[in-house]
Amino acid sequence: AQSVTQLGSHVSVSEGALVLLRCNYSSSVPPYLFWYVQYPNQGLQLLLKYTSAATLVKGINGFEAEFKKSETSFHLTKPSAHMSDAAEYFCAVSVSEVGNEKLTFGTGTRLTIIP
């Protein structure tokens, strides 16, 4: 079965600094990978997704992620943090297997922005 591991349940960065949120996946077949963002007491919103078209994926709000098969990673980055980026971020994986059509989420990383 597929899984994702998000390293660091809490990450703090200064406003204007680089944001790096880590995600490693485990899958026996080629994965589809997603990053979602959740603001307090709200649902999740898709930031970006990898579907094998290109290894560097650009998303909304200036975020991007790079799929690295050799490292089984899909880390999320943003060059310059903004106060509005404070939220919880979830990495998720799905695979193309009959009877296994579900999205598996990591445990999340809460991002705090320091003014």
Partner 1 sequence: DGGITQSPKYLFRKEGQNVTLSCEQNLNHDAMYWYRQDPGQGLRLIYYSQIVNDFQKGDIAEGYSVSREKKESFPLTVTSAQKNPTAFYLCASSIGTAPSAEQYFGPGTRLTVT
Q: 4 forms bridges with which residues in the sheet?
A: 25
41 touching partner 1, by CB under 8 A: yes
108 touching partner 1, by CB under 8 A: yes
Contact with partner 1 (CB under 8 A): which of 7, 9, 15, 58? 9
Biggest CA–CA distance in the chain, Å, is 47
User: What minimum distance in Å lies between the beta carbon of 83 and partner 1?
Assistant: 22
By three-state DSSP, how is residue 13 classified? Answer: strand
Parallel, antiparallel, or unpaired for β 64-68 and 56-58?
antiparallel
Which residues in this chain contact partner 1 in the complex, by CB under 8 A? 9, 32, 34, 36, 41-46, 49, 51, 90, 94-96, 101-103, 105-108
